[in-house]
Amino acid sequence: MVASMGRKSRRKTPWDNMSELTPTQIFLKEQYKMSYADRHRKVSESGESELINSYSPVRCPFCKSEDFDSWNNKNAFTTSRYWLQKLFLTLEGVQDNIVLSGTVWLDETYYTVRSEDIVYNEDGSKLRGISRNQIRIVVATDKTNTVFLVEGKGKLSQRKTWETFGNRIAPKSTLMHDKESAHKNLLRRLSRSRNHRLI
């Protein structure tokens, strides 16, 4: 399946087909394999399935009915879509009360929307640069707590950045960022009202 997608396995090393290896090559290969195995544990070994299955929804998230069972779901409950829905329900609201403090790092990244949701120009070409075809994910951490938020689509704005982080960063924190212009309002208002140091 990997080959049919035109991708190389990340599990491979340059020495997999070599019969004789130097001590350095053996060490690097074993360390890489151990690192790969640690980051790609089976669901059955991670405890993840037990966590997800420990959540029992009390009502249907769509019709809000409390009279339902697993057979009301249009998908078989072994499908990935059902598991993903259970995960989101389990994690819903888990970040609501997090307030970052101390030294806070702030950045953002973008993910392309689904192919069927891509917006094209009138001539059929794709929109250039950061556009509404990119979902904007903002991330902030103080190395104790981390928040990941879907902030919208396309480029950042000063208004949206303030609405997202204005109440999520504690007074007297040090804000570390990449001088993104959309952070200006956040920096100005936090500096004036909460004694933030700007880096």
Structural domain boundaries in the chain: 46-91, 103-107+139-198
pLDDT of residue 145: 93
Above 60 in pLDDT, residue 146?
yes
Distance of CA 88 to the CA centre of its chain: 12
- 158 and 184 in contact (C-beta within 8 Å)? yes
> What mean pLDDT, rounded, does the chain reach?
79
Q: How confident is the model at residue 180 (pLDDT cuts 50, 70, 90)?
A: confident
Nearest-5° Cα angle at 163, 172 to 199: 40
Closest to 194 measured CA to CA, from 162, 166, 156 = 166
CB under 8 Å, gap of 24 or more: what pairs does 14-21 form? none
Q: Quick: pLDDT tens for 52-90.
A: 777 777 777 667 777 755 554 454 545 666 776 777 777
When pLDDT is averaged across residues 121-130 and rounded to a whole number, the result is 88
pLDDT of residue 2: 37
Pairwise CA distance, residues 197 & 199, whole Å? 7
pLDDT of residue 13: 82
Structure tokens at 188: 């100005």
Angle formed by the axes of helices 158-165 and 184-194, nearest 10°: 40
- DSSP assignment of 28-64 equals HHHHHHHHHHHHS--HHHHTHHHHHHT---SS-TTT-
pLDDT of residue 115: 84
pLDDT of residue 114: 84
DSSP 169: B
When pLDDT is averaged across residues 103-114 and rounded to a whole number, the result is 90
pLDDT of residue 143: 92
Q: Any idea which residue has 């420990």 for tokens?
A: 54
CB under 8 Å, gap of 24 or more: what pairs does 144-148 form? 144/102, 145/98, 145/100, 147/95, 147/98, 147/100, 148/95
Q: How confident is the model at residue 171 (pLDDT cuts 50, 70, 90)?
A: confident
